A and B are shown apart, each in its own frame.
Chain A
Amino acid sequence: MADQTIIHTESLTKIYGMGEIQVKALDGVDLEIRENEFVAVMGPSGSGKSTLMNILGCLDRPTEGRYILAGEDISGLSKSQLARIRNQRIGFVFQSYNLLPNTTALENVMLPMIYNRNNGHQSAVEQKEKALAMLELVNLSDRIHHHPKELSGGQMQRVAIARALINDPVLILADEPTGNLDSKAGQEIMGLMRDLHSRGSTIVMVTHENDIAAHAQRVIHFRDGHIESDQLNGHKTPHPNLAQEANDASQ
């Protein structure tokens, strides 16, 4: 299982604008991310990292190139099919949490289940139990009936992480998950991310803080729509597959 490819892109290109004024946000990106990798994506604004995340998250479609997510070719899917992929394959963690206001932590966590067409076998009770388990995983068992406005930023982000995990995604996409948090809460969230990673999750995280990126195994730098550098974090144990890949590349 460990050598399964989660993300595979071939000359992924995204062009914005029409006619004469065209912007190449992504310019032929080839990327391979395997199961249980923890990847940080960095780069200045306009470098294409947000565009990449949108495409990886199936929120957007590439202009050219192919994207294969966990063996499924995403490139030609319709809006509804993409919604299904987002629902069942991907967990999103946003900078601004994006919890529904006036809705309890538990209900927020259960939100993706509403749109899951594959959980018909689960009873309402089972679904709730699963959501409670996810909240326990992020240490919020004592806050299940709290509304977002009654929670701290760190707690809200933890609810969002529990929500991202609820449909057992193959990929967690985190877009500056600590961007709105103070450093203490930020470290807590990163601790949680590492926990998830150690439990087998595959995580791709956008950040522009080096100390946040330091928590990842692998750091990819973007510039002008293509990969500028793709390195393993020195002080981390390299992932065996990555080490193998690196060896292959050097030979």
Chain B
Amino acid sequence: MHPSKVIQIAWKGLAKNKLRSLLTMLGVIIGVAAVIIMVSISAGTEKTIEEQITSLGSNLIFISQNFTRMGFGGGPGERGGETGGLVFDDAFAIADQVEGVTGVAVEQQSAETVEFGDVSLDSVEILGTTPDFPAVRDMTIAEGRYFTQQEDDRKQKVAVLGASLAEELFGDATAVGQTVNVGGVKLAVIGVLAERGMVGNVDFDMRLYTPISVVFQKFTPSMFARIMGDRVRMIYAKVDTDQVPMEDIILQIQLLLAKRHDVSLDAADFSITTQQDIISTQESTTAAFRDLLAWVAAVSLVVGGIGIMNIMLVSVTERTREIGLRQAVGATPNDIRWQFLTEALLLSLVGGLIGVLVGVGGAWLFGELGGMRTVVVPTSIVLAFASAAAVGIFFGFYPANKAAQLDPIEALRHE
């Protein structure tokens, strides 16, 4: 029989039961749409995270304390120095001695109540940094200025506010020139940073930035940090990889810090992470998430396939007489098999096509109305559609085979 004839017959078979065909396709439609939407959401999330991490500042190296290697109770004298962790001077050593490092910023944080007039905000993150911070972390000043090295050296009581913090404290009024009360210490506001948004789970805009020397002196951050003395949580090094390769810079920092801390590289009390490492970590997390979603969606596709098989089995039983008649007038087992296989395939392909439309439209809707970033991944469309076709063939084969193997005499006698 000519393939176009087979398709025509199968199409007529389905058109006779429009509602049933549509309901049968629903499983595949949902499955395919789910795959596309799920993948588009996770791809969107991935892209957002990637952008956020890149916006942390390009070419950053994060040097942090390795707590598992670090001893407590800390001065260099007590434990021979190898467990001292990162100290303030390490940052300057890196800036001075490591080739390729163009800027260094350190961070130490605390949480204090910030007051201005009637407004009182609890547990505001106080971030002690160095003057390089805006440059290293790609922060922009919206109003006023950031503090200088001189102010840091002199432990000047100045503050730069995050955008949201400034708005909560001062509303529309000018913040620069005012004085805020931070945990009992008065700090002069000298600048406000441009809006930055959430990066990871840190709200850059609700922080108060002040010289790290002020944090050490005034806001002995916590019991933990007090013991640490002038230790810093994190050193950010901005690097220029045009001249010196990233690996070399990392190696230089490792050697320098190992020497300064008097530890071997195998037992380092610090760890070095590049931005690429963070992106890869995030990517592997979101990739796992995406895979999970894709599997969930794939399961719904299989459920859709089982729906097709179910309906095709019902259809074969219902149309036993028709099958018998077709056999009597000359349909071979293959003709019958192809007819039902084509019906199942048509169901899944048409369902798949509708599913693609629903999926792409749904992804767009999620982006527009759901406030979710979605990126439709073309391979997910191809994959979902191909899976739908495979599901149709796989789950259509058993009913089609059953129809093909019917005995014409029995089939004709069937009521």
User: Which residues of chain A are near B12, meaning CB under 8 Å?
Assistant: 103
Q: Is A163 within 8 A of B330, CB to CB? A: no
Q: Bound complex: CA of A31 vs CA of B322, how far in Å?
A: 31
Q: Bound complex: CA of A115 vs CA of B327, how far in Å?
A: 9
Known contacts A80-B334, A100-B322; is-contact A112 B329 (Cβ 8 Å): yes
User: Within the complex, what minimum Cβ distance (angstroms) separates A75 from chain B?
Assistant: 17
Number of interface residues of B (CB under 8 A): 22
User: Within the complex, what minimum Cβ distance (angstroms) separates A121 from chain B?
Assistant: 14
Q: Is B325 within 8 A of A115, CB to CB? A: no
User: Which residues of chain A are near B16, meaning CB under 8 Å?
Assistant: 102
From the candidates B322, B325, B330, B412, name the one contacting A83 in the complex (CB within 8 A).
B330
Which of A102, A115, A163 has the most chain B CB within a 10 Å cutoff? A115
User: Which residues of chain A are near B333, meaning CB under 8 Å?
Assistant: 79-80, 83
Q: Bound complex: CA of A241 vs CA of B260, how far in Å?
A: 122
Q: Is A115 within 8 A of B330, CB to CB? A: yes
Q: Which of A110-125 contact B (CB under 8 A)?
A: 111-112, 114-116
Q: Is B329 within 8 A of A163, CB to CB? A: yes
Q: Which of A76-122 contact B (CB under 8 A)?
A: 79-80, 83-84, 86-88, 92, 94, 98, 100, 102-103, 111-112, 114-116
Q: Is B329 within 8 A of A94, CB to CB? A: no
Q: Is B328 within 8 A of A115, CB to CB? A: no
Known contacts A80-B332, A80-B334; is-contact A111 B326 (Cβ 8 Å): yes
Q: Is A57 within 8 A of B329, CB to CB? A: no
User: Which residues of chain B are near A163, meaning CB under 8 Å?
Assistant: 329
* A59 lies within 8 A of chain B by Cβ: yes
Residue of B nearest to A167 (CB): B330
From the candidates B1, B9, B321, B329, name the one contacting A86 in the complex (CB within 8 A).
B329
Q: Is A116 within 8 A of B409, CB to CB? A: no
Q: Is A59 within 8 A of B328, CB to CB? A: yes
* B335 lies within 8 A of chain A by Cβ: yes
User: Which residues of chain A are near B1, meaning CB under 8 Å?
Assistant: 114-115
* A60 lies within 8 A of chain B by Cβ: yes
User: Within the complex, what minimum Cβ distance (angstroms) separates B5 from chain A?
Assistant: 6
Residue of A nearest to B336 (CB): A83
Q: Which of B271-326 contact A (CB under 8 A)?
A: 321-322, 324-326
* A233 lies within 8 A of chain B by Cβ: no
Q: Is B328 within 8 A of A57, CB to CB? A: yes
User: Within the complex, what minimum Cβ distance (angstroms) separates B393 from chain A?
Assistant: 22
Q: Is A98 within 8 A of B408, CB to CB? A: no
Residue of A nearest to B8 (CB): A114
* B256 lies within 8 A of chain A by Cβ: no
Known contacts A114-B1, A114-B5, A115-B1; is-contact A98 B412 (Cβ 8 Å): yes
Which of A84, A98, A103, A114 has the most chain B CB within a 10 Å cutoff? A114
On A, residues with C-beta under 8 Å from B are: 54, 57, 59-60, 79-80, 83-84, 86-88, 92, 94, 98, 100, 102-103, 111-112, 114-116, 163, 167
Listed A/B pairs (27) with beta-carbon separation below 8 Å: A59-B408, A79-B333, A80-B332, A80-B333, A80-B334, A83-B330, A83-B331, A83-B332, A84-B332, A86-B330, A87-B330, A87-B331, A88-B330, A92-B329, A98-B321, A98-B412, A100-B322, A100-B325, A111-B325, A111-B329, A112-B329, A114-B1, A114-B5, A115-B1, A115-B326, A115-B330, A115-B331
- With A80-B333, A86-B330, A115-B335 given, can you name 11 additional A-B contacts, CB distance below 8 Å? A79-B333, A80-B332, A80-B334, A83-B333, A84-B330, A86-B328, A87-B329, A92-B329, A100-B325, A115-B326, A115-B332
